[in-house]
Chain A
Amino acid sequence: MSKVATFERGIHPKYNKELSSGKSITPAKLPQRVVIPLSQHIGAPAKCEVKIGDEVKKGQVIGTPAGFVSSPVHSSISGKVIAIADFPTAVGRLVPSVVIESDGKDEAVAFKENPNYMNLGADEIKAAIKDAGIVGMGGAAFPTNVKLSPPKEKPIDTVILNGAECEPYLTADHRLMAERPKDVVEGLKIIMKSLGVNKGYIGIEENKPDAIAAIKSAASGESSIEVHTLEIKYPQGAEKMLIKAIKNREVPSKGLPMDVGVVVQNIGTAIAIYEAVRYGKPLIERVVTVTGRGIKEPRNMMVRVGTLLSDVIEQCGGLVEGAVKVISGGPMMGFAQWTLDVPVTKGTSGILVLSEEEYVSSEEYFACIRCGRCVDVCPMGLNPSMLSILIEKGHYEEAKDYNLYDCFECGSCAYVCPAKRPMVQFMRLAKSQVKP
């Protein structure tokens, strides 16, 4: 076997992917009601284009982008707008949202098909991606068309599709690669075309042999696409780590992937791009892994954007007795929820419910015993121990000298810390106190 690609340091948490990795993607029930936030992306919130009482169809634009770094928002069902107000989202903020009550018909607007999509020019592709409201579906939710339009002085020569899915528990990308490998490859080809790049890679962690096999056979005819097997290690799927593993290029401190000529896209995003460019379909649904030992029947589901977590959880048999934590996203970087009445958005990769047995309490923490474990695992090569000690004392400026802003809050340091120190919280606190 060829060697597996990887990066330095990192951690090996329990993956627990077997809970849902064998479950095919099934469509969720049509929701009675959806709450669609007008800001599901990084950048300016979309401008609301509907009023209370309006009838809308599936795929209809309800919010238009307000600025360059912004993204349109579409209705995910057909029905009537019953409210427009601020509602909580899974990341804990209140966001202006449109509430739509379903009419049960699920009627869609006409989508603009494009059978000869590979003949489109770069600008046409980007326009289609923008109009479909596509954002990074791995969690960060950065508008994709912006990512595909790097400034001229940053020439791009490589596109990498991120099939690492290094977050424990999550299997959404895994299922997509295993079930729809052709669409993934087509998506990648479209992305490469839009950037004028002729080298594409798909990196997949070793623990998804079926996905690797499927993607390899789907890409077998494509000489410009290479499939790489990656070591099972967190955070293998972080952009910088992935680029290091596959291309052995190091994104400079405080830099972006485009500084080394690379654009990284998520698997789900690639499929959404394919659907948008080929079928004119906007991003109104996504695959969500509903998992954890706190959920009765773990599943991978195709869920409409705006469906409430409570609806999704109910369809998976509900919470088990003793479920203690509900997380939107993965266990390493996801957000704990205080209510289940928040919607699934374009960036929701999973809904994870932890049971008591999976939950290692970290409420009480201790002084740093300087064991150095965090230093040994930080993928960015920082000194989290020193950072946490400085931040605890309020020396935020000094924390900057220890490269605070290179920390991307992957949580590896907190994971290994025997003193159970809230490292990520420290980092966020300091970042909120000092400018980069």
Chain B
Amino acid sequence: MPKQVRHDTKRKIEMATDVKTHPLIVSVSPHVRDEESIAKIMWTVNFALLPAFIMSVYYFGPRAVYVTGLCILTAVLSEHLFQKGLNRKITSTDGSAFLTGLLLGMNLPPAVPFYIPIAGSLVAVVITKMLFGGLGYNIFNPALVGRAFLLISWPKLMTIWSTPTAQFLAMDARTTATPLGILKEEGAVKLMEVFGDKASLYSQLLMGNRAGSLGETSAIALLIGAAILIYKRYITWHIPFSFLGTVAVAAWIFGGRGGLFTGDPVIHLLSGGLMLGAFFMATDYVTCPTIKKGQIIFGIGCGAITMLIRLKGGFPEGVMFAILLMNCFAPLIDRGVSPKMFGAVKKKEEKK
């Protein structure tokens, strides 16, 4: 009865220490917060992948829905059960497991049997993310570890590339080589032959009408998603542009068969998992450096390793391993660079 207490002269002095009945929240400043949240960011990234997903359905038919759906379902369910089983805070609805599933799905060839998505998702979520402590503590990009695991365990199945002809029973679909595969084995001239001329090669690559993983086919669809993320400032130019820039320069200098400076950077930029990797996977907050300067180093590293593998390595594609390798260095890079500190320069001049 705070009102009465106040009129009671005897207790006047104690009034100031009287606990009122207002249910006031007490916490440390600041008392206002931005409305951004992990869930909001994650779901927006998922949304930004929608155009690419739609294109994958367009080219590979229900098969795309089936493979990606299995990945997502396994990812979300396994995170949920893991957290439930260990009595941890349940975060399976924050969109991050969904994103891991979606990204993994987009990294798979369309014709894989059902156990491939499931195995990949389990490795991605349980081993790469949850066993390291959950979102924020993982060192490697979960979807990429999932894919690397699959590629090493089932190298055959993971490299059956079907032609994009929208068939559910993809096992029967005609298989073919990816543009990068052709480029690696037979060179740009052959690639040009397969697609007709240069213009149609570029436009097919842009539109995604070519063999490849589900989500890496249409560069345009991926760029639309990337534009959304950049517009929302969820990602910045630092990683993708330094990544793509390095690839382009390296492809131009070293990519040609006829000697230095004869390579075709456009083919390299538009092929394989580069767009997907540069905009959606290298930019994964948890596994890239936090400081912008470091992000540029990270992007250049990714680009250099990608081209090293593409041109000299045993696989036609190197984006995945490049990002995974650079993931290891992200914490190191973060320690090596520091933001420009206020008042730091003068301190060195004047004191000590």
- Which residues of A are in contact with B by a Cβ distance under 8 Å? 8, 11, 13-14, 33, 35, 82-83, 85, 87-88, 97, 99, 168, 240, 244, 250-255, 308, 310, 319, 323-327, 331-342, 352, 354, 358-360, 362-363, 366-373, 375-376, 378-383, 385-386, 403, 406, 409, 411, 414-420, 422, 424-425, 428
Q: Does B231 contact A (CB under 8 A)?
A: no
* Stretch of B15-23, B52-60, B221-229, B317-325 that contacts chain A: B15-23
Contact B290 A375 (CB under 8 A): yes
Task: Give Cα A325–Cα B24 distance, bound, in whole angstroms.
Answer: 5
Q: Is the C-beta of B91 less than 8 angstroms from some C-beta in chain A?
A: yes
On chain B, the residues within 8 Å of A11 by CB distance are: 34
| Residues of B with C-beta under 8 A to A380 | 341-343
* B288 / chain A contacts, CB cutoff of 8 Å: 370
List 5 tightest A-B contacts by C-beta distance, closest first.
Answer: A367-B136, A411-B30, A372-B290, A381-B341, A360-B33
- B32 contacts the other chain (Cβ, under 8 Å)? yes
Provide the residues of chain A in CB contact with B12, threshold 8 Å: 33, 82-83
Residue from A240, A252, A336, A409 in contact with B26 in the complex, judged by beta carbons closer than 8 Å: A336
Residues A340 and B342 in contact, CB atoms below 8 Å apart: no
Additional 8 contacts, C-beta under 8 A, given A331-B32, A386-B334: A11-B34, A33-B12, A83-B13, A325-B25, A326-B22, A354-B32, A366-B38, A366-B136
Contact between chains at B290 and A337 (CB < 8 Å): no
Q: A252-B351, A367-B135, A372-B285 are in contact. Are A341 and B30 (CB under 8 A)?
A: no
Docked CA distance A334–B27 (Å): 10
Interface residue ranges of B321-352 to A (CB < 8 Å): 334, 338-347, 350-351
Instruction: Provide the bound-state CA to CA distance between A403 and B19, in Å.
Output: 39
A358 and B32 in contact, given A339-B19, A369-B38, A371-B285 (Cβ under 8 angstroms): yes
Which chain B residue has the least Cβ–Cβ distance from A249?
B346
On chain A, the residues within 8 Å of B334 by CB distance are 383, 386
Point out the residues of chain A lying under 8 angstroms from B351, CB to CB. Answer: 252
* Interface of B toward A, CB cutoff 8 Å: 12-13, 15-20, 22-38, 40-41, 91, 133-137, 285-286, 288-292, 295, 334, 338-347, 350-351
Which residue of the partner chain, among B15, B26, B285, contacts A338 with CB atoms under 8 Å?
B26
Given contacts A253-B343, A375-B291, A418-B41, contact A13 B34 (CB under 8 A): yes
Q: A334 and B29: CB pair below 8 A?
A: yes
Separation of A352 and B292 alpha carbons in the complex (Å): 36
A-B contact pairs, 8 of them (CB 8 A): A252-B346, A341-B17, A367-B133, A381-B341, A383-B339, A411-B30, A415-B32, A420-B33
Given contacts A252-B346, A378-B339, contact A336 B27 (CB under 8 A): yes
Complex Cα distance, B33 from A177, in Å, reads 29
CB pair B38–A385 under 8 Å, yes or no, is: no
Give the chain A neighbours of B23 by CB distance below 8 A: 324
* Least distance between B327 CB and chain A CB atoms (Å): 12
A11 to B, closest residue via Cβ: B34
Question: In the complex the two chains form, what is the Cα distance from A424 to B22 in whole Å?
Answer: 25
Pick from B13, B17, B30: contact of A333, CB under 8 Å: B30
Which of chain B's residues have a CB closer than 8 A to the CB of A379? Answer: 342
Measured CB to CB, the nearest residue on chain A to B294 is A372
Contact A370 B31 (CB under 8 A): no
B32, A381: Cβ atoms closer than 8 Å = no
Given A251-B343, A420-B33, answer yes or no on A362-B17 (Cβ-Cβ < 8 Å).
no
Provided the pairs A99-B13, A383-B338, A383-B339 are in contact, do residues A418 and B136 lie with their beta carbons within 8 angstroms? no
Measured CB to CB, the closest approach of chain A to B65, in angstroms, equals 29
B141 → chain A, closest Cβ, in Å?
Answer: 12
A335 and B295 alpha carbons, distance in the complex (Å): 37
Answer whether A332 and B32 are a contact pair too, CB < 8 Å, given A383-B290, A418-B38.
yes
Nearest to A340 among chain B residues (CB) is: B20
Q: A372-B290, A372-B291 are in contact. Are A327 and B347 (CB under 8 A)?
A: no
- Say how far B279's CB is from chain A's closest CB, in angstroms: 16
CA distance A341 to B35 in the complex (A): 32
Contact A371 B290 (CB under 8 A): yes
Q: Is the CB of B27 within 8 A of A362?
A: yes
Inter-chain contact B136/A327, CB cutoff 8 Å: no
Contact of A253 among B26, B27, B31, B342 (CB under 8 A): B342
Which residues of B are found within 8 Å of A420, using beta-carbon distances?
33, 37
Chain B residues with CB under 8 Å of A339's CB are 17-20, 24
